[in-house]
Structure 1
């Protein structure tokens, strides 16, 4: 079955996004032709939502997502005929424990990710990385798991071992959320982010111009970019916010909002 690609791709302007969707449409056509499920690589929430918005418009197909554990941010998408049950789909993900003596060395998510990508593994082959007291847990596609297990021997000068663990053995990070009820002059990203991170708009603008801030997982260099309810704002080194609710104008003309800050 040939899909109407012009219609499905027509509203997408970003070239990188077009490449992603074109690959997904190739997979969708294969599924419709061969009646066998196919898996994408790992995608962040923004691209996952983009892909799902396209798959929802294709008849006779179903899809599901899985990132190795229920709250995963990065997930693989399974595309399969609509008569199949998603419970029958094998998402072919592996959880690896990367362990070493990090008592004297402070390491971050970036250190572990850098060591993994430094082996030549593409980012889309790896899901979430969860930092633990003695290392990191890495969700990856099965096809790169053995390579990682063999070749990942050091992280930030610390020798490590890599072993496969069961998803039930994952040590999930405690998610703490602070709810902030405040008002802003406008729903510009600099105003909302400054309120959420507890800093000045002037400082936030500097961070934005330095491309340290992301809106819905895309780098945002425009301090005046509008923010809508449900949008996610990330600031490198400071964490993540969600504009959870827009409550409308106050008597003074400001806009009442509720922000969730993930600590």
Structure 2
């Protein structure tokens, strides 16, 4: 048995982490690899950090593309130095159980965002753990990474009628991962800025290149997370090591904070 209580102590998501510990224990008990449902980036990061330190266990994350925010974790037993039980040789490079889907429709007169697509999928019977990353492709619909089981259900269900996203019927088609058109992401960039304060709205505004008023509105709308936790106060003070996540715009890490001679703050930030 794994040291559950020590693994859970101080966890940001103890319920989610507890479910992953159950799967890790099953992999150890059966000597067979176990894939988790899709989990949020914060949960995957915490599980890799905590469970990945165990000598008898190997943890591998796969999200369907290199910059995936949601991923599935594979737990497998390590039988000896450099040797793992369960997965065949090369398992780490083998495709994960992830299916790509196209959700095509004409959204020119009824635009939809990612939450509209997710809500429609959940209403159609999907579980949150069935859904990986999803991105909208203008007025043409969206693309989605999902569990193979959900993909099969959705393809069968559309024989009975199309999935509705807002008022728009969508056609669901299975794709290969190579056919996906992933959303563009910026290359990592190190930034330097001098600010009057270390408030969240000021720092995030400088780091993400948005106006202060726009950043305040995003924070109050729940689009910003601080160290993966929801935050609603624009005046939250930041320190070196803090990480700011902004929906669809990546992450900003505060690498250094130093006072200047004019009682301002010089910040070094890494945007990914």
TM class by smaller structure: 0.7 to 0.9
Cα deviations across residues 84-137 of structure 1 (Å, max 9, x unaligned)? 343375521111111122333322212211211222322221000122242111
In structure 2, stretches of 5+ residues that fail to align are: none
C-alpha displacement at 1:239, in angstroms? 4.1
- Aligned partner of 1:106 in structure 2 is 111
> Which residue pairs with 1:32 in the alignment?
28
Answering whether residue 211 of structure 2 is matched by residue 199 of structure 1, we say: yes
Q: What is the DSSP-based 3-state SS (H/G/I as helix, E as strand, rest coil) of the residue aligned with 2:2? A: coil
Count of paired positions: 255
Q: Which position in structure 2 is the counterpart of 1:59?
A: 55
1:226 matched to 2:242? The reply is no
For normalisation by structure 1, the TM-score amounts to: 0.83
Aligned mates of 1:241, 1:66 — CA distance in 2: 19
Partner of 2:262: 252
- CA apart distance, 1:210: 5.2
Q: Deviations over 1:51-96 (max 9, x none)?
A: 1122123221111111112221111011112233433755211111
Contact 1:241 1:259 in 2 (8 A): no
Q: What secondary structure does 1:51 align onto?
A: helix
Task: Work out the CA distance in 2 between the residues paired with 1:256 and 1:226.
Answer: 13
Does 1:73 pair with 2:69? yes
User: Which of residues 136, 152, 169 is equivalent to 1:146?
Assistant: 152
TM-score under structure 2 length normalisation: 0.81
Post-superposition Cα deviations, 1:125-154, rounded to whole Å, max 9, x if no partner, equal 100012224211110011111222224522
How many Å separate the matches in 2 of 1:9 and 1:45? 17
